Amino acid sequence: MGSVRIEKMTKSFGDFTALHDINLDIKEGEFFALLGPSGCGKTTTMRCIAGFENPTSGRIYIGDREVEKIPANKRNCGMVFQSYALFPHMNVFENVAYSLNIKQLNASNPIKQMGIYGRLLSSRLGKYPADIRNKVMEILKYVELDNHADRLTSELSGGQQQRVALARALVMEPAVLLMDEPLSNLDQKLRHSMRNTIRKIQQDLGITTIFVTHDQEEAMSMADRVAVMDKGHIVQIGTPTDLYSNPSSPFIADFVGTSNILEGTVEGEENGFTVVKGEGFLLRSSTKTKKKSVDVIIRPEHVKVEAADSVIDHNETNVIEGTVIMSTYLGSIVRYDVQVGSYQLIVDTTYSSGANIFEEGKKVKLTVEHERVLLI
Amino acid sequence: MNRLKNSLNGLTVVKVLIFIFFGLFMLLPLLSVFVVSFTGEPTNLLGALTDPAILNSTIEKFKNISLDNYKRIFSNAGYATALKNSLVLAFTVTIIIILVCIPLAYGIARTKMPFKKTISALCMIPLIVPTFISAYAFIIMFGRAGWVTQIYNALGGEGMLLNPYSMAGVVAVQVFFFFPYALWPLVAAFKVSDISLEEASQNLGAKSWFTFIFVTFPLALPGVISSALLIFTVSFSDFGSPIVLAPKDLNLLVVEAYREISGFFNWGGAAILTVVMVIVAAFFFYLQHLFTKGKNYGSVSGKPKQQKLIENKLLTRVLSGYSLFIVLIPLLAMLSVALQSVATTWGKDLLPSGYTLNHYKTIFSTSMGNIQNSIMLATGALVLSVIVATFVSYFVVRQNSAKLDFIASIPLVVPGIAFGIALIQTFNTAPLQLTGTALLLIIAYTIRRLPYMVRSTMGSMRAIKADIEEAAVNLGATPLTAAITIVGPLMLPGIAAGSVLVFITVIKEASVSILLAPPEWAPMSLAIFQNILRAEYYSAAAMSVILVALVLILQAIASFIGKKQQL
C-alpha cells in the first residue's frame, strides 16, 4: 500500500499542454477522485501515474519510490480500465491469474518459463500451481464470481465484467488502485449498487484508490477527497462537503452541484457584513473579501420563497424581490425559476403536502441568510 | 539519456531488427542493382562497408559512373525491343481481358443467366494454377501435336489454330489465366453502380444497349480502369508464361533479364533491365493506387440494394454460352495436364494411346525430394513471414509507423525476376555470401509474399483495442511479453489465414525459385520447369497435378478458416 505524491507535473503533446503544474498529495488508504469535464486532463494524470504516459516534467512518487522513470509494468498500480480491457481469449480465472503468472514468469528460469508461457497461451498446456489457484479463487469469491471462474468474459453481464476487472487488478496486491470512469459503462441501477460495492471493497482492503470521473455525484458520494480539474489545471482539492460549501471559483460552484452565480460589486462593510450590489439586488454576506468586483454564489436550496406581502426583518436576513417565471414540482421539492433583475435564479424549496405553490407570474420575496451568500 | 534508456526495451530491439531485415534483404539489393545499372559491373556495397580494399575499388567504380549503359540500352536493339514487346504484351493482354470480362461480369452481376454458380466457381481455377503450368498446358492443347490442333486440322484447318510459341500464345495464356483478377472488381463495380439511374434512362425512352453504353458502363468505369491497371502490372511482371512460351526471337524484358543473368552473367545488362522493370511496374501500381484511393469498389456495404436481375432469355443464354466458353478453356487446359500425367504416350492423336500411373510412381520414387523441398521452403517462408508480418503490423497499427507500412508494401511493385536478380547480385560475394543457399531463397519468398501476410495480420491487429495491451502491461507484463501472450493469440485467426496464402503462393512461385534455388533445394516449380525444358512432359504433368492438388487442399483449408472466423 502506498501514498501517491505528484510534484509540479506537466505534460505536453506537441504544442498542446495537457497538464499544467499538477501537485497532488494522496494519503495512504485514501479514496481520491479526479473530477472534471472531458478533456480536462484527469485521464492523462491517471495515465501518467500508471506509466502509460511520460510526464514532460515533474515528479511522481508512489510510497517513497520515485516512479516517473520506472516502466508501467514495474509500477505495481492496479488499473481498472473504462472498457475493462478483459482479455477476450481467456476465461475469468485466466484473466485474474494473469498478473500472478507474470510475477512467476519473472522469477523463473528459462525452462520453467516455457511452462508458464504454455499455460498463458492455453490452460491445457500447463497446470496452475495450487498457490495461484487458491489466490485467484479467493479473490473471485470476494467479488462473488467464484461460480463463474470457467466462463468466457464475453458471457458475463456488464456488472460481472466490472468485477472481473476489479479482481484482476486487486489480485496483484497493488500499491495503488486506479479506476478510469469505472461506472460509465453500466446502467443507472447497476451504477448505484456498484458504487457501494467499490466503496466497501476499498474500505475493507484500505487500499489507496484514485478514480477518474466526470460525474460529480459519483465523486461526491464515493470519495474521501476530490480534486476538480479544468483545462489541465487542478482548480480545487477538498472533501466533498468542503467543495460544496466553499467552492473556490464559479466553475467549481457550478460543476459541483447547482449554483446561482451573480456578478456584483463590493460597496463596503456594514455590521461586519460585506455589502454587495448588482443588477436587481443588494446583498450582505459574511464572506470577507478585498476584491472590488466579485462573483456571488447562492445555492438553490439556501433560498426561501415568501409571499410579496410578507413582512421580513431586513437586519436578520437578505431579501430580494422577484417574479416567478416557472415552477416545477419534483416530488419532495419544488423548483422555482425566479426573475431577479436580468438574472434567473433557481430556488429549491422542500414541499410538504398542502402548502401552496407560487404560480407563474407571481411577485415573491426571496430570503437568503448572510452566511449562505458566498463571494468569490 | 533517460529517454534513450526507456526506449531500449525488447520491442525497440525487435523494431530495429525488422528495419535491418528489410534494409539488408530488400532495400540494399534494390539499391545495388540501381548502382550496378550505372557502373556496369558488380558492385559490392556490403563489402565496401566492411573491407577497405573493397571500399577503394567501389569508389573507383563510382568514378566510372556514366549513363553509357543507359545510352547503350536505347541503342541496343535487343533491350529496346524487349521493353517495347513487354509493354505491347501487357497492353494487349489488358485490353483483351477488359473486353472479355465486361460481358462476363455483367452476366454475373446483373442477369439471371443459366449456370451462373458453376461459372463463378470455375473462375477460381486460373487463380490456383501457376502460369508456367498453364503455359505448358497450352502447349499440350495448341502445340503441333496438341489435340486442339488435331481437331482443327480434321475440320480442314491448316497448321495450328494458335501457335503457343509466339506472342499470341503468351497473350492467350495470360488472358485466360489472369482474367479473374479483373473479373471480381468488375462484378463489384457493376453491382455497386446505381440501378435506379439505368431505370431512369430506360424510362426516358433509351434502348437497353444505349443505356448500357452511356449509363451502366460509365458508372462502372472507375472499377474498369483500376482493374485494367492491375492487370497491366500483373501481366508485365509475369515470368511463368513467357519463359515457357516465348520463342528465341521474341524478346521480353523478364526473359531477357533472366537470360542475361543465367546465361551470360552480364550484371550490367541485367541490372538495367531490372531497374526498367521496377520503374514500369511501380509506375502502373502507383497509377492504380492513385485511382482507387478513397474509393472502395471491392466492398458492397450498407443497405443491400434491391437488385432487379435481367431475365431476358436470349440475352442470358448468349451470355451464359459465352461465359462457359471463357471458363472452360482453363478447365480444359488443366484436364489436359491431368490426362497427360496418366498417359503412356500421347502423340498426334486426340487421346493418349494408353493409360498408366507410372509417371506418378517415378515422381514418388525419384522426385520426392522436390516435393519435400517445396514444403520445407514454404514452411520456412511461412514462419519467417508470420514473425515479420506480426511485428510489422504491430508497429504500423500501434505506433503509427508509416515508414514500415511503406517499406512492407514495396515488394508489391517489384517483379519477382527483378527481385531475384537484385538478391543474387548483392549476395554472391563476401561478407554475406548467401546466393545458392536455402536461406536466401526463403528470405526471397518471405519478402515477396509479405504484403499478403501483412494485410491479413494488420486486419486482426486493428481489431484489438490498445487498452487490452495496456492492461497486460499494467498487470506486470513487459511490452514484449504482452505481445506474445495477449496480442499474439488474439491475432491467430488473421495469422492463420495469411500463412495459408503465403504457403500457397510460395509453392506456386516460379521466378524466384528458378533464379535462386540451388540444385539440392530445387522445389516442385523448378523441377517442373526443368522437365518442360528437357521435354520430359509426362513427369512435368504429373508433378503439376500434384502441385495443383496441394494448392487446392490448402485453399480449402484457408476458406474453412475464413468461414470459421466469420462465425
The pLDDT assigned to B562 comes to 64
Smallest CA–CA separation between B108 and chain A, in Å? 40
| A55 lies within 8 A of chain B by CB | no
Same domain, A223 and A274: no
B477–A69 CB contact, under 8 Å: no
The pLDDT assigned to A99 comes to 92
Interface of A with B in 15-44 (CB under 8 A): none
A73–B477 CB contact, under 8 Å: yes
Spatial distance between the Cα atoms of B260 and B265, rounded to a whole number of angstroms: 6
Domain topology for B357-567? MetI-like fold (1.10.3720)
The pLDDT assigned to B73 comes to 65
The pLDDT assigned to B559 comes to 75
Can you list the alpha helix ranges (DSSP code H) found in B475-523? Answer: 479-482, 488-508, 511-516
Q: Rounded to whole angstroms, what are the CA distances from B196 to A88, B191, B219, B307?
A: 44, 12, 12, 10
B472–A87 CB contact, under 8 Å: yes
Contact list in A for residue B468 (CB cut-off 8 A) is 85-88
Q: Rounded to whole angstroms, what are the CA distances from B183 to A171, B15, B134, B508?
A: 57, 39, 19, 21
Instruction: Assess if residue A211 is contained within a domain.
Output: yes
The range of the structural domain enclosing residue A336 comes to 261-375
Spatial distance between the Cα atoms of B434 and B437, rounded to a whole number of angstroms: 6
A79–B486 CB contact, under 8 Å: no
The pLDDT assigned to B444 comes to 92
B257 contacts B270 by C-beta, under 8 angstroms:
yes
| A110 lies within 8 A of chain B by CB | no
Same domain, A178 and A297: no
Instruction: Assess if residue A256 is contained within a domain.
Output: no
Contact list in A for residue B479 (CB cut-off 8 A) is 73
What's B262's DSSP letter? I
| B349 lies within 8 A of chain A by CB | no
Domain holding A209: CATH number?
A: 3.40.50.300
B6–A88 CB contact, under 8 Å: no
Same domain, A156 and A267: no
| Cell numbers describing residue B186 | 468488375
Contact list in B for residue A85 (CB cut-off 8 A) is 465, 467-468, 470-471
DSSP 3-state percent helix, strand, coil across chain B (nearest 5): 80, 0, 20
Instruction: Assess if residue A255 is contained within a domain.
Output: no
The pLDDT assigned to B565 comes to 55
> Amino acid letter at A280?
G
B349-401 pLDDT, tens digit per residue, is 778 888 888 888 888 888 888 888 999 999 999 999 988 998 898 888 888 88
| Cell numbers describing residue B219 | 458508372
Q: Which member of B467, B476, B490 has the closest CB to residue A73?
A: B476
- Give the strand pairing for A343-350 and A273-278: unpaired
Same domain, A9 and A149: yes
Spatial distance between the Cα atoms of A106 and A117, rounded to a whole number of angstroms: 11
- Of A202, A220, A245, the residue that ends a domain is A245
To test the contact with chain B by mutation, choose from A53, A73, A122 the residue with the greatest count of B C-beta atoms within 10 A, namely A73
Torsion of CA A219, A223, A228, A232, to 10 degrees: -100
The strand pairing partners of A298, in sequence order, are A260
Smallest CA–CA separation between A21 and chain B, in Å? 21
Instruction: Assess if residue A179 is contained within a domain.
Output: yes
Report DSSP letters for B92-114, one per residue: HHHHHHHHHHHHHHHHHHHB--T
Strand A208-213: give its sheet, edge to edge. A77-80, A176-180, A208-213, A31-35, A225-230, A233-238
* Start and end residues for every CATH 1.10.3720.10 domain found in chain B: 85-293+312-338, 357-567
Which DSSP helix (H) or strand (E) runs through A197? helix A188-205
| Beta-carbon contacts below 8 Å between A and B | 76
The pLDDT assigned to A55 comes to 93
If you search the block for the grid coordinates 484473466, which residue do you land on?
A: A95
ipTM of the complex: 0.81
Same domain, A195 and A311: no
A81–B472 CB contact, under 8 Å: no
- Of A185, A214, A245, the residue that ends a domain is A245
A89–B473 CB contact, under 8 Å: no
A23 contacts A7 by C-beta, under 8 angstroms:
yes
Instruction: Assess if residue A251 is contained within a domain.
Output: no
Same domain, A85 and A28: yes
A117–B484 CB contact, under 8 Å: yes
Same domain, A369 and A314: yes
| B2 lies within 8 A of chain A by CB | yes
Same domain, A45 and A157: yes
The pLDDT assigned to B198 comes to 65
Contact list in A for residue B475 (CB cut-off 8 A) is 73, 78, 98-99, 102, 168-169, 172
Instruction: Assess if residue A250 is contained within a domain.
Output: no
Domain holding A353: CATH number?
A: 2.40.50.100
If you measure CA to CA, which chain A residue comes closest to B1? A69
| A52 lies within 8 A of chain B by CB | yes
Same domain, A235 and A283: no
A79–B471 CB contact, under 8 Å: yes
A83–B473 CB contact, under 8 Å: no
Helices B131-142/B313-341 angle, 10° precision:
90
Tally the domains of chain A: 2
Cα dihedral sign, B173-B177-B183-B185: negative
> Amino acid letter at A66?
E
Say how many C-beta atoms besides its own lie within 10 A of residue A279's C-beta. 11
The pLDDT assigned to B462 comes to 83
| B552 lies within 8 A of chain A by CB | no
SS3 B189: helix
Distance of CA A141 to the CA centre of its chain: 28
SS3 B561: helix
Spatial distance between the Cα atoms of A127 and A120, rounded to a whole number of angstroms: 10
Contact list in B for residue A78 (CB cut-off 8 A) is 474-475
| Cell numbers describing residue A305 | 420563497
Q: Rounded to whole angstroms, what are the CA distances from A22 to A7, A189, A232, A251?
A: 6, 35, 8, 18
Q: What is the mean pLDDT of chain A?
A: 89
B467–A81 CB contact, under 8 Å: yes
Same domain, A22 and A70: yes
Smallest CA–CA separation between A32 and chain B, in Å? 20
Distance of CA A65 to the CA centre of its chain: 26
Same domain, A175 and A70: yes
| Cell numbers describing residue B438 | 536455402
**Residue B207: φ, ψ to 5°:** -70, 160
If you search the block for the grid coordinates 487490452, which residue do you land on?
A: B468
Architecture of B85-293+312-338 per CATH? Orthogonal Bundle (1.10)
If you search the block for the grid coordinates 498453364, which residue do you land on?
A: B134
SS3 A142: helix
Q: Smallest Cα–Cα separation from B110: which of B312, B324, B328?
A: B312
Helices A130-142/A158-170 angle, 10° precision:
130
- Residue ranges of chain B with per-residue pLDDT less than 50: 1-7, 296-305, 566-567
The pLDDT assigned to B291 comes to 72
Same domain, A30 and A163: yes
Smallest CA–CA separation between A79 and chain B, in Å? 7
To test the contact with chain A by mutation, choose from B475, B478, B485, B491 the residue with the greatest count of A C-beta atoms within 10 A, namely B475
Smallest CA–CA separation between B558 and chain A, in Å? 22
Instruction: Assess if residue A253 is contained within a domain.
Output: no
- Residue ranges of chain A with per-residue pLDDT less than 50: none
Instruction: Assess if residue A188 is contained within a domain.
Output: yes
